[in-house]
Chains A and B, each alone.
Chain A
Amino acid sequence: MADEIDFTTGDAGASSTYPMQCSALRKNGFVVLKGRPCKIVEMSTSKTGKHGHAKVHLVRIDIFTGKKYEDICPSTHNMDVPNIKRNDYQLICIQDGYLSLLTETGEVREDLKLPEGELGKEIEGKYNAGEDVQVSVMCAMSEEYAVAIKPCK
């Protein structure tokens, strides 16, 4: 790789994943396995016999569905790591289970669902109580979901 990295290009051309040697993955980092972007919640290594080569055991959780998986792979393998992006948007309203969000550039997005479970209830509660809140949205492998809220400053 050359010393010069071109940082000027924007989103265009940015791939949704990049490769990494399995041993360089970290706990709490991300990985793509079987096409799903996952967060690594546990990572350990083992070997077969004292003179064997390292294998990596991964416990990962699908960042969007919350499903848990376990895998084993040789530590020399190359894995795909998803490009994760987080953005904060201001919540404008909630309609038919969808969020209306104001981006930094002033555009309105209405394509994100109100999340299920605790967080969804909380967003709704705050919204109904008339509080101004920001919603953190995580994007990986062209999927996007709301993952956190905080009060507007």
Chain B
Amino acid sequence: MMAATLGPPEVIAQLENAAKVLMAPPSMVNSEQRQHAEHIFLSFRKSKSPFAVCKHILETSKVDYVLFQAATAIMEAVVREWILLEKGSIESLRTFLLTYVLQRPNLQKYVREQILLAVAVIVKRGSLDKSIDCKSIFHEVSQLISSGSPTVQTLACSILTALLSEFSSSSKTSNIGLSMEFHGNCKRVFQEEDLRQIFMLTVEVLQEFSRRENLSAQMSSVFQRYLALANQVLSWNFLPPNQLGRHYIAMFESSQNVLLKPTESWRETLLDSRVMELFFTVHRKIREDSDMAQDSLQCLAQLASLHGPVFPDEGAQVDYLAHFIEGLLSTINGIEIEDSEAVGISSIISNLITVFPRNVLTAIPSELFSSFVNCLTHLTCSFGRSAALEEVLDKDDMVYMEAYDKLLESWLTLVQDDKHFHKGFFTQHAVQVFNSYIQCHLAAPDGTRNLTANGVASREEEEISELQEDDRDQFSDQLASVGMLGRVAAEHCIPLLTSLLEERVTRLHSQLQRHQQQLLASPGSRTIDNKMLDDLYEDIHWLILVTGYLLADDTQGETPLIPPEIMEYSIKHSSEVDINTTLQILGSPGEKASSIPGYNRTDSVIRLLSAVLRVSEVESRAIRADLTHLLSPQMGKDIVWFLKRWAKTYLLVDEKLYDQISLPFSTAFGADTEGSQWIIGYLLQKVISNLSVWSSEQDLANDTVQLLVTLVERRERANLVIQCENWWNLAKQFASRSPPLNFLSSPVQRTLMKALVLGGFAQMDTETKQQYWTEVLQPLQQRFLRVINQENFQQLCQQEEVKQEITATLEALCGIAEATQIDNVAILFNFLMDFLTNCIGLMEVYKNTPETVNLIIEVFVEVAHKQICYLGESKAMNLYEACLTLLQVYSKNNLGRQRVDVTAEEEQYQDLLLIMELLTNLLSKEFIDFSDTDEVFRGHEPGQAASRSVSAADVVLYGVNLILPLMSQDLLKFPTLCNQYYKLITFICEIFPEKIPQLPEDLFKSLMCSLELGMTSMSSEVCQLCLEALTPLAEQCAKAQETDSPLFLATRHFLKLVFDMLVLQKHNTEMTTAAGEAFYTLVCLHQAEYSELVETLLSSQQDPIIYQRLADAFNKLTASSTPPTLDRKQKMAFLKSLEEFMANVGGLLCVK
């Protein structure tokens, strides 16, 4: 419009003025002026056929920003008016732009890039109707390259880079209003021919440069650009040749760390050994330039990941690998590696080990392979040492740590699958890597921890917050690799760890004794230098972590097995071992191992365990000597962490799980052995001592109760535990709620309660069992009843000791619920039910005390969570009734209540969250149900006929009535509340769809609004939930056959939403199934509306080819299900067609 009304000079003047406004500092112009200026550019870019004006601007204007906008305008207009333009004029436009740039070497970089982008877009758009191909451009580019002028060569590189990024992916591509399918097709065509052309050109340039002796600064900058371009090509995310829907394209492009998997047509190019050699040569040449080295190493790492159809057979792969390793070794052997090379080199090695199959790895000449493993060993040790230095210097950028991680991970990959290598092949290497890890983590003189490069010790006491991860988690990957290597070289590593630990135990003991004497000599002087102690603690800390990872695995849910290497090692030596001495070493943690006669003829694995027990014993003695303040809670944690890990795997081994079991193991920790009884007693003693001494150290107390749970969660171990007097003492002490156990934090107390309850299900005679429950559970009940049944309880309830009593009881109830297992649910449920009824009364009493109210609801949540799935009909109903009453009381007390609180945070809505959780838990019964018509309750049930008074639906809908009005949009901003809310409403729609139409009108409306909101503007997780909720709702409508009900109308609206989502928007692949199911059901319900939607969409298509394709696709989509009915077979057929539909035309309609 503007171009039509104003002559070119006026346009330029106007634009230049606008540019001046936009570039002016904020103080000079107001926002209105700025907006006006922006508007001028926007409408300029929208103007019709602006080519002549733009050319004029480019040739005359001196304002860079205006030039930039002119280039943008050309780019947008070409795409917009493509069909109207003569092919010849497009071609001349492209030539003009290219020439323009060539003739103006001093253009601002951003202007030049924008013009080249316009060229790239023209080329890409042209490739669609084959009006332009890249050949001519490549011809021009290669002429530019051969010009020898650095400036021109740089320009050539920019052209290639612009083309590459335009074709590479949908995220980098410009928004030109074409379908994702178009972008995908362009990319596929490009990668076969043109990309290779670019690569060849790049390789030529690199070859040229690598031959030159001295490069000027300008030349080496050109060199660097081409190297970066090569890297971009080698990191190309090759699309598989077949057609893929847009969501697959999106998926392919989102993957990080692309490995090089080119199509077959690249074979000749990439298997040419000169290419690989070139990149090694280039790297050798520029390795001291850290920026360029990044690129050259990245190129090599990509080449190291080469795989796929590019290799004709295994032989080719072997040759390639052998050649690559030769190149690698000759590049890095004998040089001092630069800091900037560490990560790159380790990526190369890690890619080789991950990508090439073992049989290919072993097929290369064995000497070469040995050298490779030697080199890997050497690098691992050396990077490990440098990583330790980085830690001392507290560097921000931990390059060696990253490199070390990668190499350790490669080791794990390598040795885990060792059947391809002869036995013991890796042992010596494993010894070296293991030794160097240990060395880096021990203090001088044995190790180098905290030593700077010149051997000076550095030590800082820093503040460590609770958020800082424990080393055992932070370095779990490293420790897992080192532990694995330790197993590979068990003959060396286990005795090494033993002697290092034993020696430190002795030193720790005498150090603590010295402190004690000092304290006795001058009481009150607490200013002792702790450096020596801290060094010992840190040594022991790392030794225990490594030992833990070496001896056992951490499995979740499964029974961990003794690692085969360890078992084998113990069996191999069992003939030389004296069992009695071994037991003696194990059973006397208070004595020095070496003081026991014949101590060298003991089982090494047991001796390593006993070394940790010796550490634990020194700790215990120091506590008894009142030296707790000198001890390290961290070491205390390490000890119980280790013992838990060890006990899970070794204590009372199940011999059935192993082919062969070591005699020392079965004698020391097998079933019915004195050894296992002794060790359980010892561990229990440790737990009890820790809980009283370390109640102020949360993490340590928590690790300690976890150890206790491990001891009782398996029946075999629990049977031994309950034979210990200490166990009974612990139970009594906890029941009495006296110090020190009542100092423990509430999660620890809950877990303790859980352990005590689990222990109660060990085998005991009836009398003992009776007695046990009398000690553990009954006091809880008695105390509780005594408190709440007092006549003046109402007046006393706010007294602190009363409140504490109540809180402690509620916490204990949560712990009891946590202990639920299928074989104890009958007893626990009956026990807890009595409390639940009373708890409802408490809701009333404590209505003004939110923390107590929350805790009461939490008890219900836990009981429902842990037990509902086991409950038969009548028991479940008892629970439903209790929950309903709870909700009624809650509702009565909270309606209209306004809260005044200084901290308006998510926690303030804890009660809402808990209630939603409760409702969700109750609903979960509908799909996870282990109850077998009250099987577990047989004998407990006084055969009453279940008169169905309350159903889950009643409770849940009552709860929803309560919750829904409170869930404002503001509250949905809290992620946990939001997720819980949608989980709940989806469950309700799935389980009780028939209740939805019966909801009161405003409630129904807000439910529908919530669903729409969830589908359109929440996380993908929530969207998926809402889609899942639609299917049952639509089915419900179909069943009811009312075509004027509000639900029917609502589903019609949802049809449109889902239709748009599937057909027009970019969406998440994971959602296709949920969306598809909802879609089908909605289509069945609203066939006429569906046809209308399809018609509307088709009629908006201008391109007849696209129209036809779409129309065909829509026909095919419903072909298998006409007329659509709610029949499973038809639905499955539809879902299958939908997938095909998405692949065929999905990409057509999603426009970028």
Contacts and interface: CB of A to CB of B under 8 A. Distances in A.
Contacts of B635: 51
Interface string A136-153: 100000000001111101
Contacts of A150: 896-898
A147 B849 CA distance: 12
Contacts of A119: 900
A10 B848 contact: no
B36 to A, nearest CB: 44
Interface in A55-81: 61, 66, 74-76, 81
A83 B798 CA distance: 8
Contact of B632 (A41, A51, A88, A136): A51
B465 interface: yes
Interface in B601-656: 629, 632-635
Interface in A112-134: 118-119, 122
Interface string B876-903: 0000000000000000100011111011
Interface string A1-17: 10101011010001000
Interface in B895-945: 896-900, 902-903, 907
A29 B786 CA distance: 26
A53 interface: yes
Contacts of A148: 897-900
B662 interface: no
A49 interface: yes
Contacts of B538: 50-51
B736 A51 contact: no
Interface in A86-126: 86-88, 118-119, 122
Contact of A41 (B698, B743, B896, B903): B903
Interface in B441-480: 461-467
Nearest to A86: B848
B851 A49 contact: no
Interface string B731-765: 00000111100111110000000000000000000
B1035 interface: no
Contact of A21 (B541, B696, B848): B696
A138 to B, nearest CB: 9
B256 to A, nearest CB: 33
Interface residues of B, number: 55
Interface stretch (B2-10, B313-321, B788-796): B788-796
B38 interface: no
B801 A45 contact: no
Contacts of A32: none
Contact of A51 (B534, B742, B902): B534
Nearest to B791: A8
B787 A53 contact: no
A59 to B, nearest CB: 10
Point out which of B462, B696, B737 has the most chain A C-beta atoms below 10 A from its C-beta: B696
Nearest to A24: B743
Interface size class of A (residues with CB under 8 A): 35 or more
Given A46-B466, A48-B463, A86-B848, A53 B698 contact: no
B796 A50 contact: no
A31 interface: no
Nearest to A61: B902
B790 A53 contact: no
Point out which of B743, B786, B799, B848 has the most chain A C-beta atoms below 10 A from its C-beta: B848
A1 B802 CA distance: 15
A43 B801 CA distance: 23
A44 B851 contact: no
Contacts of B898: 122, 148-150
B805 interface: yes
A36 interface: no
Contacts of B743: 20-21, 23-24
B294 interface: no
A75 B1141 CA distance: 64
A7 B806 CA distance: 13
B697 interface: yes
Point out which of A14, A22, A122 has the most chain B C-beta atoms below 10 A from its C-beta: A14
A153 B848 CA distance: 15
B787 A7 contact: yes
Contacts of B737: 1
Point out which of A44, A76, A81 has the most chain B C-beta atoms below 10 A from its C-beta: A76
B848 A136 contact: yes
Contacts of A84: 798, 800
A21 B790 CA distance: 29
A25 to B, nearest CB: 9
B900 A45 contact: no
B537 interface: yes
B695 interface: yes
A10 B698 contact: no
Interface string B767-800: 0000000000001000000110010100110111
Given A85-B798, A88-B848, A51 B745 contact: no
Nearest to A139: B798
A74 B628 CA distance: 14
Contacts of B848: 86-88, 136
Given A41-B903, A149-B898, A54 B805 contact: no
B796 A24 contact: no
A11 B737 CA distance: 23
Given A83-B800, A119-B900, A51 B696 contact: no
A77 to B, nearest CB: 8
Given A23-B698, A23-B745, A53 B902 contact: no
Nearest to B782: A3
Given A46-B463, A86-B849, A1 B902 contact: no
Nearest to A16: B800
Point out which of A29, A84, A85, A87 has the most chain B C-beta atoms below 10 A from its C-beta: A85
Contacts of A10: 792, 795-796
B832 to A, nearest CB: 23
A74 B629 CA distance: 11
Point out which of B464, B635, B744, B896 has the most chain A C-beta atoms below 10 A from its C-beta: B464
Contacts of B795: 10
Contacts of A122: 898
A6 to B, nearest CB: 9
Given A23-B743, A49-B534, A119-B900, A54 B736 contact: no
A8 B799 CA distance: 11
Given A22-B696, A47-B464, A86-B849, A7 B796 contact: yes
Contacts of B465: 44-46
A122 B896 CA distance: 14
A150 B746 CA distance: 32
Contacts of B745: 23-24, 26
A74 to B, nearest CB: 8
A122 B907 CA distance: 24
A26 B851 CA distance: 11
A53 B851 CA distance: 29
Contacts of B802: 7
Given A3-B736, A28-B851, A48-B463, A54 B798 contact: no
A151 B462 contact: no
Contacts of A5: 801, 805
Given A1-B738, A23-B696, A86-B849, A50 B629 contact: no
15 contacts: A7-B790, A7-B801, A23-B745, A24-B744, A28-B851, A44-B467, A48-B464, A50-B537, A52-B461, A52-B633, A53-B696, A54-B697, A86-B849, A119-B900, A148-B899
List the 5 closest pairs (A to B, CB-CB), nearest first: A51-B632, A75-B696, A85-B798, A86-B848, A23-B696
Given A24-B743, A51-B635, 17 more contacts: A14-B800, A22-B696, A23-B695, A28-B851, A44-B467, A48-B462, A48-B463, A49-B534, A51-B534, A51-B632, A52-B633, A53-B697, A83-B798, A83-B800, A149-B898, A150-B898, A151-B896
Interface of B: 461-467, 533-534, 537-538, 541, 629, 632-635, 695-698, 736-739, 742-746, 779, 786-787, 790, 792, 795-796, 798-802, 805, 848-849, 851, 892, 896-900, 902-903, 907
